[in-house]
Amino acid sequence: MNAVKKLKIPPEVARSSVEIFQTLPTALIQCSDILAAIDLQRLHTISFWDCLVIGSAINSRCKILYSEDLQTGREFGNLRIVNPFHAEEPLTAG
């Protein structure tokens, strides 16, 4: 896991964090997400897999997508990319 490797967090702490995440709402990938990913990839220079995450977030009506891999501050319609590891970025919508 990136958190264990990059942030040198013990695996037990990383596991506890994931256990917290499982209490949050999730979205299943639908055909509409795949189609949105294909369209996004054609419009932007982003990998298909990143576009799949973005498309799924858009279809799930998310306002913020937390990612350390995508360009922080970038917007796709009503979806804004936030890097949670950049201190200057707000971690909440609004």
Collect all residues with Cβ–Cβ distance below 8 Å to 93 and sequence separation of at least 6.
63, 64
Query: 3-class SS at 18?
Result: helix
pLDDT, average across residues 64-86: 92
Question: What is this structure's pTM?
Answer: 0.69
CA-CA-CA-CA torsion for 85, 86, 88, 93, nearest 10 degrees? -60
Q: Quick: pLDDT tens for 5-63.
A: 777 888 888 888 888 888 888 888 989 889 989 999 999 989 999 999 999 999 889 99
